[in-house]
Amino acid sequence: MGTLTLAMVAVACTGGGNGAITNGASAKPAKGPVKRGGTVTIAELGAAPDFIFPLPPATNQNGYNANLTEAMWPYLVYAGDGAKSVVNKEKSLFTSLDYTNANKRLTIRLKSWNWSDGRPITSRDFSFVYNLLKANASNWNAHLVGLFPEDVSKVTTPDAHTVVLDLTKAYNPDFYTDDVLSTIPLLPQHAWDKTSATGTVGDHDTTTAGAKAVYAYLQKEGAKTTAFATSPLWQVVDGPWKLAEFRTNGYYSYVPNTAYSGSAKPVLDKVVLSPFTTDTPEINALRSGSSLDVASLPLNDIKQAEALKSSGYSIASVPIPGVSGILPNLHNSSVGPVLSQLYVRQAFEYLINRTQIVSKVYNGYADPGNGPVPVKAGGPWVSALEKADGPYPYSPDKAKALLQAHGWKVVPGGTTTCENPGTASSQCGAGIKAGQALTFDLVYSSGRATTDEQNAAIKSSEAQAGITVNLRSEPFNTLISKIGTCTAQSHPSSTCGWQLAEFGYDPYPLYPNGTGFFDTGGYNNAGGYSDPKMDQLVKATEYGSSAQAFTAYEDYTARQLPWLWLPLREGLLVYRTKLQGVVPLNPFSSANTFEDWAYSK
């Protein structure tokens, strides 16, 4: 939820109106001799990681944690190669993935790499992860009901570098590789398979009780922010970087893992992530030219581009593969019945002037937000419907007509109320009482002036149909601590009292279907949207590779509005011109490839 990494926050547009800006999708690192060593300081805007164990609990939806951990414990499948939407085989942990038995058997052959303590990475490390998740899947924040590990009927490890998965279903190999295996890290069984700090390492994970005890211990340790950089547990890594320092305000730094087995060895001595709570001090630091090497340029400061270029910075643009929207809580005790009415969500969407927001708020640097797949970064997956402005282009007249047709007294500039309660097609709908007002509270992540401007514009445009939107911004970490996943069965007031929420955006994996976003029980489905047809359409994209099946899912989702679609803002990546390897930036992974960066001589 709201993963805002360097690769996600500082990425930018695919085109645009300033000569100082290049397209990061096609830009190439400068050629020439490089020098070893040096420190790079990167601005991290928004929030701080708060968990280091790479399998966070279901209650922790802080997307910044992947920013911290993926450089140390990369996923089995490394998503993205530069700006290319492909699997990066060089940085992945496998040598081959073979789907056989009509795509119901997967044979994974692991690279002969080592952990940082010199011990080999083996198939036992995979079975360790599998055993932990099999016993604790419901307490893993990336868990999708029915997928890994439930979809594995048997795991065998014929040798130290081979894993065979017998699957319960025949999956689309693109989906399973791109969206499932790219969420599974390998973890050091020889160092972490214990149930307490003083306990001995063993094969505890091979029993359900033991796996639960190990998982509970690692999750408890994973929340101790003051020990992130000092605990012996987190010193055993297989990625190119090790954590050198971590402060609770979000400042942290990496140093090279000198035992890294990959071919791209780190050249820099140190990488520092420096936190900024708002974009104003960040732009001030860039203007000073001394403290930051890499940062995002706030879109409201676009006029600074030329000045920064003359100060030794380059500015690159990269498309963002993701989706932005306002999440409606369909199970809120007061407004859930209203938001559950599709026509209400349609009216709300008709009143969001996305085209104007892109132009006036983001200076043209944003995806139009016409549906669940980004138009600019969606590649071949974007449907004709989304390319043609989506199903709900801005139309206040259509919004008013919808509400009037369903029994509402529309008061432009005032408060629209239900005057014809009931469940007939011309009435307000189930659970809506006479006099119910179309008044909603919208909470959103603070720190960006453009987000404030966007939501102020939405508040103003919704008022045209008498819809009142009360705005409240909060720091990202505070926001996600109050937003729980709300369903008809479970919606405690402490985490389900919210009505509308906006986190920024959510990044997509390589295969941009709605698994985990819009299906029942999805980890990003905080508002509790549930629709059997949606579930069926999402599953069709998982099991088959039909382009028609994907379009059917995409267009249905665009029309059903499980989220209220918003423009997907684009940042601009600012980096020192003498720093090579920064672009093209990988927008598909939280692990920025710092090992590819180096200063020119």
Rounded CA gap, 121 and 110, in Å? 8
* Closest C-alpha among 539, 538, 568 to residue 554: 538
Identify the burial level of 134 via C-beta atoms within 10 angstroms of its C-beta, where 0-12 means exposed, 13-18 middle and 19 or more buried. middle
Report if residue 130 sits inside a domain: no
Are 363 and 21 spatial neighbours (Cβ–Cβ below 8 Å)? no
CB atoms within 10 A of CB 210: 19
Peptide bond into 149 cis (omega under 30): yes
Q: How many angstroms separate the first and last alpha carbons of the chain?
A: 40
Are 161 and 122 spatial neighbours (Cβ–Cβ below 8 Å)? yes
pLDDT in tens, 476-500: 888 888 888 898 876 677 789 999 9
Paired residues of 513 in beta bridges:
none
Paired residues of 190 in beta bridges:
none
Over the Cα atoms of the chain, what is R_g? 24
Report if residue 592 sits inside a domain: no
Report if residue 215 sits inside a domain: no
Residue 490: what pLDDT? 67
Report the relative pairing of strands 572-576 and 313-317 from DSSP bridges: antiparallel
CB atoms within 10 A of CB 288: 10
Paired residues of 243 in beta bridges:
254
Q: What is the CATH number of the domain that holds 340?
A: 3.10.105.10
Give the residue with greater pLDDT, 270 vs 381.
270
Report if residue 447 sits inside a domain: yes
Question: How many domains, in total, are found in the chain?
Answer: 1
- The two tokens of residue 301 are 């400061």
Report if residue 520 sits inside a domain: yes
pLDDT in tens, 503-549: 888 888 888 888 889 999 888 899 999 999 999 999 999 998 888 99
Report if residue 178 sits inside a domain: no
Global pTM reads 0.77
DSSP string, 76-135: SS-EEETTEEEE-TTTSSEEEEEEETTTTEEEEEE---B-TTSPBP-HHHHHHHHHHHHH
Which residues constitute the domain of residue 399?
322-569
DSSP string, 18-79: -TTEEETTT--PPPS-EES--EEEEEEES------SSS--TT---THHHHHHTTTS-BSS-E
Banded model confidence at residue 78, pLDDT cuts 50, 70, 90: very high
Residue 20: what pLDDT? 42
For the chain, helix, strand, coil in percent to 5 are 30, 20, 50
* Closest C-alpha among 255, 204, 197 to residue 231: 197
CB atoms within 10 A of CB 206: 12
64: alpha, beta or left, given left = phi > 0 and alpha = psi -120 to 50?
alpha
In this structure, what are the phi and psi dihedrals at residue 107, rounded to the nearest 5 degrees?
Answer: -105, 120
Range with the poorest average pLDDT among 51-65, 111-125, 325-339, 393-407: 51-65
Report if residue 439 sits inside a domain: yes
Residue 13: what pLDDT? 27
pLDDT in tens, 181-223: 999 999 999 999 999 999 999 999 999 999 999 999 999 999 9
Paired residues of 569 in beta bridges:
366
44, amino acid identity = E
Are 358 and 368 spatial neighbours (Cβ–Cβ below 8 Å)? yes
Banded model confidence at residue 357, pLDDT cuts 50, 70, 90: very high
Which residue in this structure is represented by tokens 């926001």?
479
Rounded CA gap, 473 and 471, in Å? 7
- The two tokens of residue 326 are 């306002």
Rounded CA gap, 569 and 574, in Å? 16
Report if residue 418 sits inside a domain: yes
What are the CA-CA distances from residue 312 to residues 294, 405, 572, 596 (Å)? 12, 59, 16, 20
289, amino acid identity = G
pLDDT in tens, 394-434: 999 999 999 999 999 999 999 999 999 999 999 999 999 99
